[in-house]
Structure 1
Amino acid sequence: MLPHRYLSEMEDSHRWLDFPVRDGDIVISTRSKHGTTWTQMICALLVFQTPDLPGHLSETSPWLDWTIAPKDEVFARLEAQEHRRFIKTHTPLDGIPIHPQARYIVVARHPLDAAVSLYHQGANIIRERVAELTGEPVPEAKQGPRPDLHDWLVGWTRSGNDPREHPDMLPGVMAHLSDAWARRAEPNLLLVHYADLAADLEGEMRRIAAWLGIEVDEARWPELVKAATFAEMKSKAEQVAPDPMGVFRSRDAFFRRGTSGSAAELLTPEELAAYRERAAAMAPADLLDWLHRP
């Protein structure tokens, strides 16, 4: 049975069907604004064991499903890599072939915090540039003035979109994470929480390194951890932000705040209770306890 196909104006998960996975490949599967670039940077630092990376992060760790980049070029770039590869996807695990000898990292974030970051990223995207690259007109829904953050966030919590057609809306986020949560006992899957990266970056980097079987000289840890901090990544936005085709108004703005826990304060107690009720209908209680913790 083939994996489900996630298809949009810029993504086609069936590219994975033709991709020759190597033993040891690291696949980073996240929803948008859940810590994708952060995890890519951590993997880069662990693989190369130096803050001086060999090139732009988006080229070293390409987004394989991204149809704007020609498939043959992406595959050729990855084929030429002799180091341990780490590859980005926003596709849930049910949309990609799972190879027993590859490693899969799924990163979770409090959904409300991720949604607020997604809202702000929307303002940073040049829709006309996306239309130019895809050959598709700017969708009507993305034209004209945007609702304010509060109203948009309330709408996001109430969305009833098909999770496979709109994976960045609440049902899609919960489906992505619920699927990974159900697989969490599998030996080649690691769940990472954005809040843990923020609270104990070194501890999480050491945990990821151990799980990947990567040994790091003790003397190297301080510089590697520093290079993975939000401040350091923001200072190198031109080399780190995932914008190889120039769709961002500002690469610096991609690294907006990097904090957690404040999004819930945008909602009234009634709105927050309604969000939690919807989330409870979409995901198991133990996942939600893990996901919503400080």
Structure 2
Amino acid sequence: MPHRYTSPDEDSARWDRFPARPGDIVISTRSKHGTTWTQMICALLVFQTPALPAPLPELSPWLDWLVVPEDEVFARLETQPHRRFIKTHTPLDGFPLHPDSRYIVVARHPLDAAVSLYHQGQNLDRDKIRALTGAPEPDPNEPPKPRKSLHEWLVRWTEEDADPRENLDSLQGVMLHLNDAWTRREDPNLLLVHYADLAADLEGEMRRIAAWLGIEVDEARWPQLIKAATFAEMKTMADQVAPDPAGIMKSRDAFFRRGTSGSAAELLTPEALAAYEARVAAMAPKDLLAWLHRP
């Protein structure tokens, strides 16, 4: 049986009730690992035009997100006549895997993802999220905790002990997600994608994904599809592309902050970076870490 992952705004049990369709594409990532980028690539390959027929979050809904009612998500996917591509932040061991579906897991240097996660936290309307999910209001008698600086937050993120199945956006949760996918990397219906490769060779990665999905693209269409998948172009389309169907972001434009790789490690002292490297060395095999941390 799949493991059930839950958070204040997620429940992977929805997958147990979801009627899969042959050819479904499931994009399984941790937060801020390139989810929206990969969804956009899949949209461009499926529709073969930058003029998408609907906003990206409608075309590729986050299936296990409690902010949008289950019936609404399932109904939207049921009516889609095209090949479906669905978002989840659930690891692969959290939902049924079907041999006639395709699964894409996207990895990113954990420190880069953590920095993006920190900034994304500042861009969320927590009151609206609580209202949509029915979460309890904070105790009015407790003053809000002051927000840590990015450096302080990142150091704590690398050091804290967290149950990876309870806190999927912790360092342990990130490594659990990637470890699980790494052990399945030879499965014919699983593709591993690295954020750094998307940044370094977007065209090559888009062509690789298209070939793996069995999608043929006319050579004349490639330039416009590649341009539409660039970070700069997606930022100009933030209102249509940002994953915000319920309006919980303070700014959709701010969701597309930088889109770079490799700079987060510079925020740590040599001692803190060494401590991070020692921690992840105990969490994953050397070949996964070499692939994950490469330039």
TM class, shorter-length: over 0.9
Instruction: Give the TM-score normalised by structure 1.
Output: 0.98
Q: How far does residue 142 in structure 1 lie from its aligned partner after superposition?
A: 11
The aligned residue for residue 188 of structure 2 is 187
1:229 aligns with 2:230: yes
Residue 39 of structure 2 aligns to a residue whose secondary structure is: helix
The aligned residue for residue 85 of structure 2 is 86
Distance 2:47 2:258 in 1: 27
Instruction: Give the TM-score normalised by structure 2.
Output: 0.98
Counterparts of residues 125-164 of structure 1 (less than 5 Å): 125-138=124-137, 143-164=144-165
Check whether the contact 1:35–1:109 (CA below 8 A) recurs between aligned residues. Answer: yes
Distance 1:73 1:159 in 2: 37
The aligned residue for residue 275 of structure 2 is 274
The aligned residue for residue 38 of structure 1 is 37
Q: State the one-letter code of the partner of 1:54.
A: P
Q: Deviations over 1:200-258 (max 9, x none)?
A: 00000000000000000000000000000000000000000001111111000000000
Distance 1:33 1:98 in 2: 23
Residue 232 of structure 1 aligns to a residue whose secondary structure is: helix
Q: How far does residue 73 in structure 1 lie from its aligned partner after superposition?
A: 1.1
The aligned residue for residue 28 of structure 1 is 27
Q: State the one-letter code of the partner of 1:181.
A: W
Change in CA separation of 1:199 and 1:122 when aligned onto 2, cut-off 3 Å: same
Distance 1:270 1:4 in 2: 36
Check whether the contact 1:159–1:171 (CA below 8 A) recurs between aligned residues. Answer: no
Residue 105 of structure 2 aligns to a residue whose secondary structure is: strand
The aligned residue for residue 66 of structure 2 is 67
Q: How far does residue 157 in structure 1 lie from its aligned partner after superposition?
A: 0.3
Q: How far does residue 137 in structure 1 lie from its aligned partner after superposition?
A: 3.0
The aligned residue for residue 106 of structure 2 is 107
Residue 28 of structure 1 aligns to a residue whose secondary structure is: strand
Distance 2:122 2:143 in 1: 10
Change in CA separation of 1:138 and 1:237 when aligned onto 2, cut-off 3 Å: farther
Q: How far does residue 17 in structure 1 lie from its aligned partner after superposition?
A: 0.5
Distance 2:137 2:283 in 1: 31
Percent of residue pairs bearing the same amino acid type: 76
The aligned residue for residue 51 of structure 1 is 50
Q: State the one-letter code of the partner of 1:21.
A: A
Q: How far does residue 136 in structure 1 lie from its aligned partner after superposition?
A: 1.4
Distance 2:120 2:7 in 1: 18
Q: Deviations over 1:22-57 (max 9, x none)?
A: 111000000000000000000000000000001010
Distance 1:283 1:291 in 2: 10
Q: Deviations over 1:77-125 (max 9, x none)?
A: 1010010000000000010100000000000000000000000000001
Q: How far does residue 68 in structure 1 lie from its aligned partner after superposition?
A: 1.5
Change in CA separation of 1:114 and 1:52 when aligned onto 2, cut-off 3 Å: same
1:98 aligns with 2:72: no
Q: State the one-letter code of the partner of 1:125.
A: L
Check whether the contact 1:15–1:71 (CA below 8 A) recurs between aligned residues. Answer: yes
Q: Deviations over 1:116-135 (max 9, x none)?
A: 00000000011111111112
Residue 10 of structure 2 aligns to a residue whose secondary structure is: coil
Check whether the contact 1:41–1:228 (CA below 8 A) recurs between aligned residues. Answer: yes
Q: Unpaired runs of 5+ in structure 1?
A: none
The aligned residue for residue 204 of structure 1 is 205
- Kindly report the root-mean-square deviation, in angstroms, between the aligned alpha carbons of the 2 structures: 1.2
Change in CA separation of 1:181 and 1:130 when aligned onto 2, cut-off 3 Å: same
Residue 8 of structure 2 aligns to a residue whose secondary structure is: coil
Count residues with an aligned counterpart.
Answer: 293
The aligned residue for residue 263 of structure 2 is 262
Q: Deviations over 1:131-159 (max 9, x none)?
A: 11112135579943210000100000012
Distance 1:178 1:83 in 2: 32
The aligned residue for residue 122 of structure 1 is 121
Residue 282 of structure 1 aligns to a residue whose secondary structure is: coil
Check whether the contact 1:127–1:138 (CA below 8 A) recurs between aligned residues. Answer: no
